[in-house]
Amino acid sequence: MTDLAAARRNMVDGQIRTSDVTDLRLIGAMLDLPREQFVAPGLAYLDLDVPVGEGRSARRMLKPMVLAKLIQAADIGAADRVLDVACATGYSTGLLARLAGDVVALEDDPQLARSAKQRLSAVANAKVVTGSLSTGWPAAAPYDAILVNGMTEIVPKALCDQLKDGGRLVCIFGSGPGAKATLFLRSGNEVGRRALFDAAAARLPGFVRPPAFVF
């Protein structure tokens, strides 16, 4: 039988620490939170995007290294309010709840939302809501940070509008091999962006670039 606690330590030591993730709070959260509670145990600690859900509910959880680097780039403080977009079964929300003061986890699929609610039922500072991913959750805005668990081909303007002044949004931005982990930073009414590292992820519904018109 696989020693899942040892597998979790190996994930952190072999995938996270070796990828310039130095935030001790985040490393501690990843050591503490059993990923096998959110995905099949045999897939929980693999260095890949793991599928969760079936049919319309199909989603891919970001590989641990990419997720950790995105969260670190979001620079989340203990009093921050965070929006977790495309939370799937709730693993990313569980991590964020250990770092932030308040987390809103957004899913557009009712089946995945129910799954996340069950797994996060004991997490007092996390709330799972259901709605359009690209629309965000304005009812709880503004946010100090927003994590998008997947790839967007378009600038997520509606989400950026829900950031506080100084707020950060992290996601995989672009398409194909040119996609990069990207930090969007709001300053007043302006939003700038900075590429962080090469990364790939599944494209999320509602974040697809419209087809170009061809004469």
DSSP state string for 57-80: G-EEEPPHHHHHHHHHHHT--TT-
Judge residue 128's burial from the number of C-beta atoms within 10 Å of its C-beta, 0-12 exposed, 13-18 middle, 19 or more buried: buried
At 87, the amino acid letter reads: C
Comparing C-alpha atoms, which of 122, 123, 62, 54 is closest to residue 87?
62
In degrees rounded to 5, what are phi and psi of residue 176?
60, -150
Within 75-203, residue ranges assigned H as helices are 91-97, 110-119, 157-160
Task: Say if residues 92 and 69 touch (Cβ distance below 8 Å).
Answer: no
Residue 155 lies in a domain: yes
Domain of 79, CATH number, reads 3.40.50.150
In degrees rounded to 5, what are phi and psi of residue 81?
-100, 130
| The pLDDT of residue 1 | 44
Comparing C-alpha atoms, which of 68, 207, 83 is closest to residue 151?
207
Residue 154 lies in a domain: yes
Domain that holds residue 76: 4-198
Residue 66 lies in a domain: yes
Could you check whether the bond before residue 142 is cis, i.e. omega within 30 degrees of 0? yes
| The pLDDT of residue 54 | 72
Place of tokens 């992290």: 170
Residue 213 lies in a domain: no
CA distances from 173 to 57, 148, 152, 153, 214 (A): 22, 10, 5, 6, 24
| The pLDDT of residue 56 | 62
Task: Say if residues 104 and 129 touch (Cβ distance below 8 Å).
Answer: yes
Q: How many residues does the chain have?
A: 215
Give the chain's radius of gyration (CA, Å). 16
Residue 204 lies in a domain: no
| The pLDDT of residue 58 | 73
Residue 25 lies in a domain: yes
Residue 20 lies in a domain: yes
| The pairing of beta strand 180-187 with beta strand 163-173 | antiparallel
Q: How far apart are the first and last CA of the chain?
A: 60
pLDDT tens by residue, the chain, 215 residues: 469 999 999 999 999 999 999 999 999 999 999 999 999 999 999 999 999 877 666 789 999 999 999 999 999 999 999 999 999 999 999 999 999 999 999 999 999 999 999 999 999 999 999 999 999 999 999 999 999 999 999 999 999 999 999 999 999 999 888 899 999 999 999 999 999 999 999 899 899 887 665 55
Question: Total domain count for the chain?
Answer: 1
Residue 207 lies in a domain: no
